[in-house]
Chain A
Amino acid sequence: MDWSPNTTQQTRKSRAQMLHDIRAFFLQRNVLEVETPALSQFGNTDPFIESIQCIQHKSEGSELRYLHTSPEYPMKRLLAAGSGDIYQISKVWRAGESGNKHNPEFTLLEWYRVGFSYQKLMQEIEELLSNLLPDLPKKAQFKTYESLFLEKFNINPHIATNEQLIDCVREYIDHLDSDGMNNQSLLDALLSFCIEPEFESSRLTFVYDYPVSQSALAQIRQTEHYPVAERFEVYLGQAELGNGYQEEVDSKRNKQILSDENQARKAFNLETVNEDRLFLAAAEKGIPASAGVAIGLDRVLMCITGEKSIQKVINFPWDKA
């Protein structure tokens, strides 16, 4: 039996140093470290993220709980309760996500800044990541989602029809069959297979202002011609490190998003999940205007150590857990 860890002692030291540096960064900025439950009565409704379910058997029947896929809902309850700026470093779980860049159990850094714009939060992320990765040769680049699609395919992702996107997938991704793909899947395929591979390595790239089909819990802004979602992603080279929003604070819209996501689950023949009523109740009380982001720390550690596989930076990855 191979019981031994997948990491070197140097990698273990790098992880400890990274966690220390992150805590020092937030301590200096007066952002409070918090904890929220890992095992909740409510799951993530996002149709592209599967929660791991846990069943507790009791004499009066069994109780279903979900391992959190991110601490987003309860952290927003803390914001509604007046916590001010908060961060959390926690283990999260996403069913079925295994590969060179994915382990179903991974470490997430999530933080919220009250009164920040998402633009200001992107600046702060750049400062944190530049602290953790001091050897990056260039400053970060900032690109709108729209500019990337216009440059690569000459189509505007905010107004392109699914037929146009399907044509584009046929032209650029000949190894993929576009049958049954919705707007979000088509955009994801084009971004993942055609645009991300061209991101400059060893450089941070921020992509912002997503199509509304990709809004998740981000606020939507009306522009002159069409609405855009105030959402962003940060990459180092081709590796996606994190995802953030100008947080949607409208309680009606938050309720609508969770319910729409469960509807989308039905359309995909996926099991619906219990919507987080406690989060929705907090949203009704009022979540302060804020921006938030979640960063995958194992991916950051891959960048720090130069390891090509996430399994080399986790002591005991999924198959050895």
Chain B
Amino acid sequence: MATVSTSEFKSGLKFILDGDPYTIVENEFVKPGKGQAFSRVKIRNLKTGRVVDKTFKSGEKVEAADVMEVDMEYLYEDGEFWHFMEPTSFEQHAAEETAVMDVKHWLKPQEKYIVTLWNGSPLSATPPNFIELQITECDPGVAGNTAQGATKPATVETGAQIKVPLFVEEGEMVKIDTRTGEYLSRAKDS
């Protein structure tokens, strides 16, 4: 297995710690003029998303993680796996529920996602920042109600629950920020 020394540490580097894959978020070099050097890092667990602090002595080695981020198209879910496809090679990858847990409600067929592969298996999927989805369920629009900021609950085609302004109707396409789950606007083509 390839190893990486602390001297090669930089943001984005991926390695294995206690069996889990991590990515370096921040790396700080700490060294007294006449003494032991350390690499103080903030690292994100790629399975759980949790960010933790860790300090390595300079020269320590860690096991490099075979982690890649690949653009893929979401296909469908079969009750057990969520299927993605690399659009150029048509190679398909089946993701377990743990890998898509956080983004299940933003998975729309034919939409592009960044899928993180660890040893070839999907570890997580990141939706595009903005996505256009159809409203599948909400109370009827209230004509003429222009009260600023007034909202009502709505469900979109992927199952996510969002809040929309009162004038939005069932069946409409809306633009949503997937990072916050907030409604942004009506989609341009609707």
**A interface residues (Cβ-Cβ under 8 A, vs B):** 46, 48-49, 96-102, 173, 175-176, 180-181, 184-185, 188-189, 191-193, 214, 216, 233, 240, 242-243, 294, 296
Closest-by-CB residue of B relative to A270 is B59
The complex places the Cα of A216 from the Cα of B30 at a distance, in Å, of: 20
B58 contacts A243, CB within 8 Å?
no
A214 contacts B55, CB within 8 Å?
no
Q: CB of B180 within 8 A of chain A?
A: no
A184 contacts B29, CB within 8 Å?
no
SS class of chain A's interface: helix, strand, loop or mixed? mixed
Given the interface pairs A100-B28, A100-B29, the reply to whether A175 lies near B53 with Cβ below 8 Å is yes
Q: CB of B188 within 8 A of chain A?
A: no
Partner of B34, one of A99, A180, A181, A243: A243
The complex places the Cα of A189 from the Cα of B39 at a distance, in Å, of: 11
Closest-by-CB residue of B relative to A185 is B36
User: Can you list 16 pairs linking A and B with CB atoms under 8 Å apart?
Assistant: A48-B34, A99-B31, A100-B28, A101-B29, A173-B55, A180-B57, A184-B35, A185-B35, A185-B57, A189-B38, A193-B40, A193-B55, A233-B32, A233-B33, A240-B32, A294-B33
Q: Closest Cβ of chain B: how far from A30's Cβ, in Å?
A: 28
Q: CB of B7 within 8 A of chain A?
A: yes
With A99-B30, A191-B32 already in contact, 12 other A-B pairs whose C-beta atoms are closer than 8 Å: A48-B35, A48-B36, A96-B58, A97-B37, A101-B29, A175-B53, A181-B36, A185-B57, A192-B30, A192-B38, A240-B32, A240-B33
The complex places the Cα of A149 from the Cα of B135 at a distance, in Å, of: 63
Partner of B32, one of A173, A192, A294: A192
Q: Could you tell me which residues of chain B, from 33 to 86, have a CB within 8 Å of some CB in chain A?
A: 33-38, 40, 52-55, 57-58
B30 contacts A296, CB within 8 Å?
no
**B interface residues (Cβ-Cβ under 8 A, vs A):** 7, 28-38, 40, 52-55, 57-58
Contact residues in A for B35 (Cβ distance below 8 Å): 48, 184-185, 188, 192, 214
Q: Closest Cβ of chain B: how far from A26's Cβ, in Å?
A: 22
The complex places the Cα of A7 from the Cα of B7 at a distance, in Å, of: 26
Contact residues in B for A102 (Cβ distance below 8 Å): 29, 31
B53 contacts A243, CB within 8 Å?
no
Closest-by-CB residue of B relative to A97 is B31
Partner of B29, one of A99, A185, A233, A294: A99
Closest-by-CB residue of B relative to A99 is B29
Partner of B37, one of A48, A176, A214, A296: A48
The complex places the Cα of A283 from the Cα of B71 at a distance, in Å, of: 66
Q: Closest Cβ of chain B: how far from A168's Cβ, in Å?
A: 15
The complex places the Cα of A189 from the Cα of B37 at a distance, in Å, of: 9
Contact residues in A for B40 (Cβ distance below 8 Å): 175, 193
Given the interface pairs A96-B7, A176-B55, the reply to whether A188 lies near B36 with Cβ below 8 Å is yes
Contact residues in A for B32 (Cβ distance below 8 Å): 188, 191-192, 233, 240
Closest-by-CB residue of B relative to A46 is B34
Q: Closest Cβ of chain A: how far from B4's Cβ, in Å?
A: 14
